[in-house]
Amino acid sequence: MKKYLALTLILIVISCKKDQTITHEVMNFDKQINDTIIPIKGEYYGAKFIHVVGYVDDSIYVSFGNNYKKHYLSKEIDTTFSTDYYGEDNAIFVFNPHKGKKGKLNVSFSISK
């Protein structure tokens, strides 16, 4: 009986972590990246995230879409932004190189349960 209980708990923990993630490696700063994650129908979500790691010579910004705040970043970056998200619409993400010309960034967009 204890084996079944342990197995059930493990499966519950594993099933709760069903993130959908898109990752971009940015080394070319000449164009904006607009991305969309389509939520799975019938699934429940709690948040959406933008994670940026790396270096850029000048400012860039990321946002959760055109009607959201722009988060400006520069130089050495290792940061995450999040906002509530319940899966009602597609999740929109924006990376804009703004004044950045050189560098290397890993930018991840995700929705999470």
**CATH number of domain containing 79:** 2.60.120
**Do the domain assignments include residue 15?**
no
Cβ proximity of 73 and 61 under 8 Å? yes
Entry pTM: 0.82
**Do the domain assignments include residue 52?**
yes
Q: Which residues pair with 34 in a beta bridge?
A: 94
What are the tokens at 62? 């990321």
Give the tens place of pLDDT for each residue, 26-64.
Answer: 999 999 999 999 999 999 999 999 999 999 999 999 999
**Do the domain assignments include residue 4?**
no
**Do the domain assignments include residue 3?**
no
Domain extent for 104: 20-112
pLDDT band at 1 (very low <50, low <70, confident <90, very high): low
**Do the domain assignments include residue 9?**
no
Give the tens place of pLDDT for each residue, 88-98.
Answer: 999 999 999 99
∠ CA 82-84-11 to the nearest 5 degrees? 90
**Do the domain assignments include residue 57?**
yes
Give the tens place of pLDDT for each residue, 67-113.
Answer: 899 999 999 999 999 999 999 999 999 999 999 999 999 999 999 99
**Count of domains in the chain?**
1
**Do the domain assignments include residue 107?**
yes
pLDDT at 10: 43
